[in-house]
Amino acid sequence: MHEQYQNILLSTLNSFGNYTSKDLKLLSEVLIDIEFDKNEIILKKGTVCSEVYFIIEGAAYQYEIDENLDQKIIDLYSNKQWCFNVKSFASKQPSESSIITFKKTIAYKLSIDTIHELIAKSPSFLQLGKILDIANKRVQYFDKNYTPDEKYKYLLKEDPDFILKFPQKIIASYLKITPETLSRVRNRITK
């Protein structure tokens, strides 16, 4: 594990849990470094999500194809974020969506089996369950009845990196608004 990448992961983990140096050593021994090219599939619709990825550098998005054969963005992922399909991972059921990289991405991979092994060695790793809560919170926010302005402001506050990494069409789909509405919202907010 590259030391600079390890420090990014450890900083993120310590933001929502308490891990000893022994815990972090156990984790560093089982993490798998992985690189994805642009447009590489991380999770294909119909397969069970049995791995989580911590993105060190890059970007990815989760999507479904709607009845008009358009991509409907479910979630976006960028640096220092966990990337996985929450519903499939928790239920062990086939995923109803796919995850694909938007640009070249460097990540760490942990399988569900590895997570269980870590928990057996140290109960501290039960705190990894909080990544499910974080991912759920973000996805559910945009399913609520917030105005387009409120959604965009939330995105600016919580994930400003998305604005720089993803095109307007993907951001608009993620916010569940049209690209035209997003353009008007941006104009209002930046004035």
23 in helix, strand or coil? helix
The range of the structural domain enclosing residue 150 comes to: 142-191
- Token pair for 106: 């460097």
Rg (CA), the chain: 17
Closest of 56, 92, 57, 49 to residue 74, by C-alpha: 49
* Same-domain check for residues 65 and 75: yes
pLDDT, tens only, 108-163: 999 999 999 999 999 888 888 887 777 667 666 666 678 899 999 989 998 899 99
pLDDT of res. 92 = 94
Distance CA(43)–CA(181), nearest Å, equals 30
Q: Are residues 51 and 92 in the same domain?
A: yes
Rounded to the nearest integer, the mean pLDDT of the chain is 89
Residues 118 and 96 in one domain: yes
Torsion 104-108-114-119 (CA) sign = negative
The CATH number of residue 64's host domain is 2.60.120.10
Report which residue type is found at 14: N
| Domain closes at, from 125, 140, 155 | 140
Say whether pLDDT at 1 is over 60.
no
What pLDDT, on a 0 to 100 scale, did the predictor assign at position 83? 94
Residues 74 and 126 in one domain: yes
Q: How many domains does the chain fold into?
A: 2
Regarding whether 129 and 89 lie in a shared domain, the answer is yes
Nearest-angstrom CA–CA distance, 106 and 108: 7
* 182: confidence class by pLDDT, cuts 50, 70, 90: very high
Share of the chain above pLDDT 90, in %: 61
